[in-house]
Amino acid sequence: RGKRAFIAGVADDNGYGWAIAKALAAAGAEIIVGTWVPALNIFETSLRRGKFDGSRRLPNGSLMEISKVYPLDAVYDTPEDVPEDVKTNKRYAGCSNWTVKEVAESVKNDFGSIDILVHSLANGPEVTKSLLETSRRGYLAAISASSYSFVSLLQHFLPIMNPGGASISLTYIASERTIPGYGGGMSSAKAALESDTKVLAFEAGRKGQIRVNTISAGPLGSRAAKAIGFIEKMIDYSYSNAPLQKELLADEVGNTAAFLVSPLASAVTGSVVYVDNGLNTMGLAV
Ligand code: NAD
């Protein structure tokens, strides 16, 4: 039987989540995705109208199929956690069962089990503010959407993950080195995500024979990255200073993710794997 992957954080064809979906589909996996509730409508409409058909094309010529798209808001674990103003917000009101627990239940009912869990989402409402200017609320929101969301997803999906399965998330070097401009507690959130990768690798390894790794990716002009405001500068910086002076393609991150969740990486867990043209190794910009 082929493997089944649930990919949280796909809402267009530009980001790392989409590229990971494609790499997994190309390797024969069945793809199901979780899309942020406010982005669901436009994503499904675009899919249906063929707007992504060009980028759905796989190396063998076929189009990537997405078996099901689930609405998801990974900052809420159960319906009891959802505040009234969100419940009644018109972008959420027409949708149901989008908290993490409910999505895991729906996937279980629809598919029974999964083999691969991908976390490709982040959000920091104050990302454009320096850490010194960040509010408690903004900082905790960044951690909730970008770090705890992974803990919660793994917590709720682990019981339906087949032994030998794997999960992967996306992190950024701002966790370990100062990247001015990556603010709002997002650097803190990535540090938490990387530390949690180690602890969760232990816990999920012992509990369910599940591997947990994270990819520290170089800069990509995704929708989320454009919202931060300095992504073009980071791409140029990387191009000038990395050992490999070439554009970083989302597909290169997708391919590494496919390797890491495959049996080829069966002894790799708790790792931060850099997919950044080697930029992380440099100590001096030249
Ligand atoms: P992206 O916009 O394609 O993906 C981010 C996704 O998160 C979006 O689809 C958005 O709808 C979703 N999202 C936000 N809040 C959510 C919530 N509460 N619940 C569910 N979904 C939510 O952008 P991307 O840059 O591909 O980001 C994917 C991952 O890659 C993130 O973890 C990001 O930090 C990481 N990353 C990105 C870069 C980069 O330069 N783009 C570099 C390193 C790491």
For residues 101 and 78, what is the distance between their CA atoms, to the nearest angstrom?
6
Chain centroid to CA 40: how far?
A: 16
In the three-class reduction of DSSP (H, G, I as helix; E, B as strand; rest coil), residue 229 is classed as: coil
Q: Measured from the CA of 217, which atom of ligand 1 is nearest?
A: 43
* ∠ CA 59-167-39, rounded to 5°: 70
For residues 140 and 170, what is the distance between their CA atoms, to the nearest angstrom?
19
Here the tokens at position 125 are 């409402």
For residues 31 and 3, what is the distance between their CA atoms, to the nearest angstrom?
9
Here the tokens at position 205 are 């390894």
Q: Tell me what ipTM this predicted complex has.
A: 0.99
Quote the ligand 1 centre to 120 CA distance (angstroms).
Answer: 5
- Report the DSSP beta bridge partners of residue 36: 72
For the question of residue 172 being annotated catalytic, the response is yes
Other residues' Cβ atoms within 10 Å of the Cβ of residue 183 = 24
pLDDT at 99 (0 to 100) = 98
Q: Measured from the CA of 224, which atom of ligand 1 is nearest?
A: 2
Residue 172: name the closest of 138, 125, 124 by CA: 124
Other residues' Cβ atoms within 10 Å of the Cβ of residue 280 = 16
- Interval 190-225: pLDDT, tens: 999 999 999 999 999 999 999 999 999 999 999 999
Catalytic pick from 16, 76, 172, 239? 172
Residues of the chain with pLDDT below 70 are none
Residue 165: name the closest of 213, 217, 100 by CA: 213
Quote the ligand 1 centre to 123 CA distance (angstroms).
Answer: 7
pLDDT at 28 (0 to 100) = 97
Q: Measured from the CA of 146, which atom of ligand 1 is nearest?
A: 32
pLDDT at 285 (0 to 100) = 80
Quote the ligand 1 centre to 9 CA distance (angstroms).
Answer: 6
State which of 213, 222, 228, 280 you would mutate to test the pocket of ligand 1, scoring each by most atoms of that ligand within 8 A of its C-beta. Answer: 222
